[in-house]
């Protein structure tokens, strides 16, 4: 292959197609290296914070949001000459996600993430091991708040410095803005629903729509389509697809949170119950249960000391009352309507096939 | 005055000159109204969070950062036709500041700010009054984390949607980026210095340089000059001015944190000591004290139960050992070198006079 062929825009886009997670990670490494390098020189005392963010971002994740955004851009006729800039713009979604996870783990008092200690726990441990002043908990809290903030600020920096014509970024900005506000609204609503004890399926669905359907799938698709300059018909169909697949994705997550294998999901089984998460699975369980069964479920939610045997009892109960079957049925229905919307979007190949595969994989996964 | 005169660009800029805090607030009201309106319709459950942010942003503050940025823009020959867009861009600094304060108050466990309960305390109280599930403290924490995040995301949205030519925003972006990273680095270093108990004047000065000199004065000036397209000579002189006046500003803050009148500063006297803040004032006090005096100071730092009488004893000690006089002397020196740098920047009037006034006021203030 000649030098010229290797570096042609179409080839660049196809190279990214072939290994999207790897390409996204290279883009993240490049940005983090540059951003961290600047502040590292200015302020060596901040290195441990910057390193914690870098490790977190590069330490795992399925790169799902950049992947949805990328295929939406490819499928709606994005200009291959802009592939490098688009890759950077969509990779920045991983920094928004880093903020969301680091702050969520702090809010939920979670101990581990991807099989490693959460950021607030890691810094609390550092404090404890060094016998520093104050309490390990408050030091961990401070570090997690500030490192999450850094991720959010850097997400904007990465997105806004993508090498794209200003009108492209301007067209994508409504999706970018909505996405960040919606994920915060979803998290706020999640916390509030847990506090007020609202156990209705409606409340569970609202949280799912904001935290997962909008933030994880629909807005990334919207962003990709906007970066390509897609028309409103294609964009609308893609967003419809995203809304359905996003809710299905969250429902699968709800099932995994109670039934998932810890060695595959990377988090302790039943933690969703201990944290008091008001999922649609739990809401349907409560709505369909008899008095004794409802008591088993209700007593488990938000009980931090829940034993493995008690988690098992909740599993049996949710299955007996038909909540598990109902959620599985809903996932099937949503996947069907989602795939119909995807066909109506008339995307170019291979994007159409890839998004259909993603949809199926995201709703049938085991981790 | 004819219609045409009233709406000319020069008149718009001069109208903002005449009441800068008021103009900044109108710009904030306009943005918050628009941003809050969108999410309010989409998600009514988020209203209490959005309202808390709006109340916080509009509830006070000296609008110091937008003011420094504005006069730098005016003084380095900013195009009056861009006054509206520049006002929006510099007003967005208040949203960065809202995030910094809301998260700082959480990290420091502060009870009040501007004479009102801090955000985490207000939400903890709401939780408590309603007898909700979980603990009030964790609910307050969650709300403060998410509302601070919203402020940071909206700061970027406000800045990036200012009606300015793309090349203007691109020119200002390095200052915008550096400012947000530096304030987080400063806060991180502040927390770390308190935890490790590093009582050296050098550590105190590093924190001051990042949190106040860079974030509050130097970068806003840098941002304003970049928005005007100022040359490197003027920009350099302005930043020199900002660095000196910023450190002087922080030193005045240190003095007010121990000696200030609570009815004027809006926060309990001695709270800096109780929180264990490692200020230059305290560092110099320790460095210049005899063994008995050092003990009085050291025992007070980070002691949450410090009584009013004990705060008084620390005040007397810091004065006796000469730390207060040393800090006052340093403020004088820095103000002198700052004003010399300002003259060397050769700014247009009235910006030159206004910045000189601001410098003197910021370092001689009582609140």
Q: Do B185 and A43 touch (CB under 8 A)?
A: yes
B194-240 per-position pLDDT tens digit: 899 888 888 888 888 888 889 999 999 999 999 999 999 999 999 99
Q: How far apart are CA B146 and CA B99, in angstroms?
A: 10
Taking the mean position of all CA atoms in its chain, how far away is CA A42? Answer: 32
| Model confidence at B6: pLDDT above 70 | no
| Model confidence at B72: pLDDT above 90 | yes
Residue B171 near residue B229, CB atoms below 8 Å: yes
Q: Which residue of A has its CA nearest to B46?
A: A185
Looking at residue B26, its pLDDT comes to 97
Looking at residue B2, its pLDDT comes to 44
- Nearest beta carbon to residue B149 from set A49, A103, A141: A103
Q: Do B146 and A103 touch (CB under 8 A)?
A: yes
Which residue numbers in chain A have pLDDT < 70? 1-7, 266, 367
Residue linked to tokens 């949205």: B157
Q: Where on the phi/psi map is residue A260: left (φ > 0), alpha (ψ -120 to 50), or beta?
A: beta
Residue A258 near residue A315, CB atoms below 8 Å: yes
Side-chain-facing half-sphere of A197: CA atoms under 13 Å: 13
Closest CA to B218 of B57, B19, B84, B362: B362
Looking at residue A304, its pLDDT comes to 85
Q: Do A148 and B149 touch (CB under 8 A)?
A: yes
Token output for B127: 């939780």
DSSP B104-167: HHHHTT--EETTEE-HHHHHHHHHHHHT-SS-HHHHHHHHHHHHHHHHHHHHHHHHHTSSS-HH
Q: Does A179 touch chain B (CB under 8 A)?
A: no
Looking at residue B367, its pLDDT comes to 66
Looking at residue A367, its pLDDT comes to 66
Q: Does A22 touch chain B (CB under 8 A)?
A: no
Mutation for B interface: A48, A50, A142, most B CBs within 10 A? A142
Q: Which residues of A touch B148 (CB under 8 A)?
A: 145, 149
Residue B183 near residue B210, CB atoms below 8 Å: yes
Q: Which residues of A touch B141 (CB under 8 A)?
A: 106-107, 141
| Model confidence at B297: pLDDT above 70 | yes
Residue A262 near residue A115, CB atoms below 8 Å: no
B57-69 per-position pLDDT tens digit: 999 888 999 999 9
Q: Does A299 touch chain B (CB under 8 A)?
A: no
- Nearest beta carbon to residue B145 from set A103, A109, A130: A103
DSSP A125-178: HHHHHHT-SS-HHHHHHHHHHHHHHHHHHHHHHHHHTSSS-HHHHHHHHHHHHH
Residue A115 near residue A266, CB atoms below 8 Å: yes
Q: Does B163 touch chain A (CB under 8 A)?
A: no
The DSSP letter of residue A347 is P
What's the alpha-carbon Rg for chain B, to the nearest Å?
21
Q: How far apart are CA A10 and CA B170, in angstroms?
A: 28
Q: How far apart are CA B198 and CA B1, in angstroms?
A: 62
Q: Do B152 and A149 touch (CB under 8 A)?
A: yes
Q: How far apart are CA B72 and CA B354, in angstroms?
A: 10
Q: How many domains does chain A have?
A: 1
Residue A223 near residue A179, CB atoms below 8 Å: yes
How many CB atoms sit inside 10 A of residue B2's CB?
7
- Nearest beta carbon to residue B195 from set A133, A192, A193: A133
Q: How far apart are CA A322 and CA A320, in angstroms?
A: 5
Please give the mean pLDDT across all residues of chain B. Answer: 92
Q: How far apart are CA B72 and CA B92, in angstroms?
A: 16
Looking at residue A45, its pLDDT comes to 83
Q: Which residues of A touch B138 (CB under 8 A)?
A: 107, 109
Structural domain harbouring A287 = 3-364
Q: How far apart are CA B167 and CA B124, in angstroms?
A: 45
Q: Does B33 touch chain A (CB under 8 A)?
A: no
ipTM, interface predicted TM-score of the complex: 0.93
Q: Which residue of B has its CA nearest to A193?
A: B45
Q: Which residues of A touch B150 (CB under 8 A)?
A: 181, 184
Min Cα separation B359/chain A (Å): 25
Min Cα separation B124/chain A (Å): 11
Q: How far apart are CA A223 and CA A242, in angstroms?
A: 12
Residue linked to tokens 């004890």: A197
Residue linked to tokens 């067209």: A171
Token output for B113: 């700010």
Stronger pLDDT, B263 or B106, i.e. the higher one? B106
How many CB atoms sit inside 10 A of residue B126's CB?
17
- Measured distance between the N- and C-terminal CA atoms of chain A, rounded to whole angstroms: 40
Q: How far apart are CA A21 and CA A63, in angstroms?
A: 6
The DSSP letter of residue B260 is S
Strand segments (E) across chain B: 112-113, 116-117
Looking at residue B221, its pLDDT comes to 97
The DSSP letter of residue A209 is I
Q: Which residue of B has its CA nearest to A45?
A: B189
The DSSP letter of residue B347 is P
DSSP 3-state of A342: helix
Min Cα separation B45/chain A (Å): 6
Taking the mean position of all CA atoms in its chain, how far away is CA A205? Answer: 17
DSSP A260-311: S-HHHHSS-TTHHHHTT---HHHHHHHHH--HHHHHHHHHHTT-TT--HHHH
- CATH at residue B93: 1.10.600.10
Min Cα separation B297/chain A (Å): 16
DSSP B92-106: THHHHHHHHHHHHHH
Looking at residue A38, its pLDDT comes to 81
A214-234 per-position pLDDT tens digit: 999 999 999 999 999 999 999
> How far, CA to CA in Å, does B39 sit from each of A5, A180, A185, B119, B154?
47, 11, 8, 20, 12
């Amino acid at each position: 292959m000649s030098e010229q062929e290797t570096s042609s825009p179409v080839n660049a886009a196809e190279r990214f197609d072939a290994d999207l997670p790897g390409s996204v990670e290279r883009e993240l490494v490049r940005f983090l290296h540059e951003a961290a390098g600047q502040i590292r020189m200015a302020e060596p005392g901040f290195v441990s914070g910057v390193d914690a963010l870098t490790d977190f971002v590069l330490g795992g994740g399925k790169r799902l949001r950049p992947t949805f955004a990328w295929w939406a851009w490819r499928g709606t006729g994005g200009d291959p000459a802009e592939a490098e800039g688009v890759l950077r713009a969509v990779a920045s979604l991983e920094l928004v996600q880093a903020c969301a996870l680091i702050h969520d783990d702090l809010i939920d008092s979670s101990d581990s993430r991807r099989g490693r200690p959460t950021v607030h726990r890691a810094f609390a441990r550092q404090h404890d091991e060094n016998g520093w002043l104050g309490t390990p908990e408050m030091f961990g809290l401070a570090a997690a708040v500030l490192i999450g903030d850094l991720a959010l600020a850097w997400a904007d920096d990465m997105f806004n410095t993508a090498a794209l014509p200003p009108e492209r970024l301007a067209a994508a900005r409504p999706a970018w803005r909505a996405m960040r506000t919606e994920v915060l609204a979803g998290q706020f609503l999640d916390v509030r629903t847990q506090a007020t004890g609202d156990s209705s399926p409606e409340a569970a669905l609202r949280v799912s729509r904001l935290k997962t359907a909008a933030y994880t799938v629909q807005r990334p698709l919207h962003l990709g389509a906007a970066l390509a300059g897609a028309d409103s018909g294609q964009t609308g169909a893609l967003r419809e697809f995203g809304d359905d697949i996003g809710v299905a994705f969250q429902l699968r997550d709800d099932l995994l949170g109670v039934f998932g294998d810890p060695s595959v999901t990377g988090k302790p089984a039943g933690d969703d119950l201990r944290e008091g998460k008001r999922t649609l699975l739990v809401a349907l369980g409560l709505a369909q249960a008899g008095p004794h069964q409802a008591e088993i479920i209700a007593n488990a939610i938000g009980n931090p000391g829940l034993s493995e045997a008690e988690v098992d009892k909740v599993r049996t109960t949710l299955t007996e009352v038909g909540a598990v079957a109902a959620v599985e049925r809903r996932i099937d229905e949503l996947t069907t309507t989602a795939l119909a919307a995807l066909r109506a979007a008339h995307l170019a190949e291979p994007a159409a096939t890839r998004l259909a595969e993603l949809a199926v994989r995201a709703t049938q996964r085991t981790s």
